Amino acid sequence: MSVKLLGRRCIALDINEKAIELARRNLAFNVLAPQLKLTGDELDSSVYEPELLVGDARNLSFLEVNSVDLICAHPPYANIIHYTDGKEGDLSLLDVDDFLAAMRDVAEESFRVLKPGRQCAILIGDLRRKRHILPLGFELINVYLSAGFKLRELVIKRQHNCKTTGFWYKSSIEHNFLLLAHEYLPIFEKPVDARREYQAQVREVISKPLVLKKVPIISERMKTFQTTTVWVFPEEEFDRSLDSNVLARYGTGGDCLSVMLDSTGRRKGEVKPGRIKGEMGLLYIKSPGWSQWQSGFSVDEYLGKIEEIVNGLVSTMKDNGFVAIQTQDVRINGFIEQLAKRIVDLVDNQQLALKEIIVLVKESQGTLPDFNGYLKLTHQYLIIYEVKRERN
């Protein structure tokens, strides 16, 4: 309905003819003039009826190359919920690997028809299998990046209807899992000149020294115990509240070690496997304030340090212990470098299973400044791995 109210031309495509029929009924209303004015330009008074088609997003042959200004899509989350009664072409009937393979065709067709410099937005979420996370959102983002897109923005859509009391609260604590309370809205852009942008990015990420520091983590009585995958803390209490929740949920057995990645260049405080005494129950890797990293930040060196820490220390950890990695995305030359996804891609240790991907938010009453057409990066991540040396 929004495109009709806004006076936009729209082609809507869906594999399910029942969804198209429902859309036609919802669009059966008259508009005297577009309802909203979003820019300072003169508002076009034209009203366009959306073109509704039953079809497969893997085949957009009816559209010309570089002919579309915006793509919005909400694919199924693999086969978690079946969308049709078995219709051919329904991607919700596919397991994860086949779903991602099919979405490669969708991404390539979207890239073909989208105009250079224009955007493609996809809503997707993660899955939980056998009490561990299957990062479907990050894997689908990889599919679109492989098709040639750049990640312009990453919006986190929070689910506010997750139960945080009663049965689910008790189950979350008893079985140590978090309720999935967020989805990803990656907004991709088709580059105008991909080669030029790549060269500019290489010039910007000049290496800076990274060192490790051992830092204390304080255990104290918490005001709130988090039970979903979105943790919101007051800005002035953010670090203390975060550390307390990490310790309470994942630091229950064995020694805890917290290390901080620091870009100051100081060489003291290195943490090496030989210095660890006994079995660790929790390895907690933290990063400094991101304002310190904006000039000369090296993505590859940062990721290499995390890989070095994890692979070097996981052998000193007890089975069913946890590795917690706090991180945040950065923007380089106008595009998002999604460090959380890069860490999940990188950590390929047979002793570790991905337990949770948690979104961290600082609760602030302040207004957001103008960032020249870009969204401010306000969320962080906490990636949780469980040590599982004996897989079922």
| Block residue for tokens 């065709």 | 105
pLDDT at 203 over 50: no
DSSP class per residue in 271-290: --GGG--S-EEEEEEE---G
Please work out, in degrees rounded to the nearest 5, the angle formed at the alpha carbon of residue 34 by the alpha carbons of 29 and 39.
Answer: 155
Our measurement of the distance from residue 135's CA atom to the centroid of its chain's CA atoms, rounded to an integer in Å, reads 9
Please work out, in degrees rounded to the nearest 5, the angle formed at the alpha carbon of residue 146 by the alpha carbons of 108 and 346.
Answer: 155
- CA-closest candidate to residue 92, choices 76, 105, 104, 74: 76
Q: State phi, psi for 377 to the nearest 5 degrees.
A: -80, 105
Mean pLDDT of the chain: 84
What gap in Å lies between CA 224 and CA 232, rounded to an integer?
Answer: 10
pLDDT at 200 over 50: no
**pTM summary value:** 0.87
What gap in Å lies between CA 87 and CA 17, rounded to an integer?
Answer: 10
| Block residue for tokens 């599982």 | 388
Q: What is the pLDDT of residues 108-145, one digit of tens each?
A: 999 999 999 999 999 999 999 888 999 999 999 999 99
Which structure tokens are listed for 237? 């209490």
| Block residue for tokens 């561990």 | 132
High-pLDDT (> 90) share of the chain, %: 53
Name which residue leads in pLDDT, 241 or 159.
241
The pLDDT value given to residue 17 = 95
3-state secondary structure of 232: strand
Q: Burial of 26 by CB count in 10 Å (0-12 exposed, 13-18 middle, 19+ buried)?
A: exposed
How much is the CA Rg of the chain, to the nearest whole Å? 23
- CA-closest candidate to residue 65, choices 102, 23, 113: 113
Q: What is the pLDDT of residues 8-62, one digit of tens each?
A: 899 999 999 999 999 999 999 888 766 655 555 555 667 889 999 999 999 999 9
Cα dihedral across residues 63, 67, 69, 70: positive or negative: positive
Residue 224 neighbours by CB distance under 10 Å: 12
High-pLDDT (> 70) share of the chain, %: 78
The pLDDT value given to residue 167 = 60
pLDDT at 307 over 70: yes
**Sequence letter at residue 236:** E
Structural domains of the chain sorted by starting position, each given as residue range(s) with its CATH number in brackets? 2-194 (3.40.50.150), 204-387 (no CATH)
